[in-house]
Amino acid sequence: MRASLAIALLFAAGAFAFEEGGEWAGTELCQGCHEDIAKAFLKSNPHSSLDTNTRRGWQTRACEACHGSGVKHAESAEASLIRNPGKLAVALADKTCLSCHANQPSRSGRVMTGHARQQVSCVSCHPVHKKGPDPRTQCGSCHQGESLSFAKPHSHPVRQGAMSCADCHNPHGGVLSKAVSTFIGNEPGCLQCHGDKRGPFAYEHAPMRTEGCGACHEPHGSTNPRMLTRPSIAQSCLECHAGTGAGFGGVPPAFHDLRSPRYRNCTTCHMKIHGSHVSKALLR
């Protein structure tokens, strides 16, 4: 709200005046003074296609797609006469990028996350000219706690480089809270890799759909085998199957002697804990 107000005020104050008038310096002129940047840009930056693609409207003047008209700057070489997204307030810098990337049918271009709200701009993850490290490996520099969690004995192989935070989160935001791309019940995220838990099962274990995988697992890693939320399986199960509270699972029938170790390892018998095609009691 505040950010959009700030943008509106800046428009009113004419802060973007250099964009109007339709006069452009052109890439060649920029290249005359910024040789290294322009060379590297034209050689390997994905945005260099702007310089040649006639459908996007920036051919021969790709630099100005992000920097605004550089006519006055090119005459004077005065830094204050050109827009540098790296020095703008986050909301304004993001606006530069979103003029093309908003609402793309991909994962990008939405500003629904805490990232946008908390001043982490597009450019902090995607520097344009500096050859930045892969943004998928940079999450831990700010999220140290989450990153450390993956060092626990039972965890996803994120620290080994076999998968990344972005396999489960969309850093650009999404419809689910915590920018989780995949979670509750039978949504694609966890299931994109653990497809055998997808079903449909004739007898699905109810919390698979209602609370999702997180009812029993800690996706960021756990000291418990199978990344379970509790040290022993019985503890996990009895959170819902001890007969307290509404909407929970039923109490195990009386023949379950819960003091006996034999009965405490529930999944030795209830083997199809995620769902079964044949057994209502999830036994096989």
Residues 144-203 close enough to bind ligand HEC by CB under 6 A? 146-147, 150, 154, 156-158, 163, 165-169, 171-172, 178-180, 183, 189-194, 197
Of 11 and 243, nearer to ligand HEC (C-beta) is: 243
Is residue 127 a contact residue for ligand HEC (CB under 6 A)?
A: yes
b/e per residue 1-37 (b: at least 16 CB within 10 A):
eebeeebeebeeeeeeebeeeeebbbbebbbeeeeee
Which residues, numbered 73-92, are part of the site for ligand HEC (CB under 6 A)?
73-74, 77, 79, 82, 84-87
Q: For residue 38, count CB atoms less than 10 angstroms from its CB and return exposed for 0-12, middle for 13-18, buried for 19 or more.
A: buried
Q: How far apart are CA 143 and CA 141, in angstroms?
A: 6
Cβ 8 to ligand HEC shortest distance, Å: 19
Q: Which of 9, 142, 175, 278 binds ligand HEC (CB under 6 A)?
A: 142
Task: Give the number of other Cβ atoms within 10 Å of residue 142's Cβ.
Answer: 12
Which residues, numbered 3-32, are part of the site for ligand HEC (CB under 6 A)?
25, 27, 29-30, 32
Of 5 and 35, nearer to ligand HEC (C-beta) is: 35
Q: Which of 44, 54, 141, 160 binds ligand HEC (CB under 6 A)?
A: 141
Of 14 and 157, nearer to ligand HEC (C-beta) is: 157
Q: Which stretch binds ligand HEC (CB under 6 A): 1-9, 14-22, 60-68?
A: 60-68
Query: CB pairs under 8 A, 24+ apart, for 182-191?
Result: 183/212, 183/213, 183/214, 184/209, 184/211, 184/212, 185/209, 185/210, 185/211, 185/212, 187/212, 190/219
Is residue 244 a contact residue for ligand HEC (CB under 6 A)?
A: no
Asked if 165 and 158 touch (Cβ cutoff 8 Å), the reply is: yes
Cβ 158 to ligand HEC shortest distance, Å: 5
Is residue 59 a contact residue for ligand HEC (CB under 6 A)?
A: no
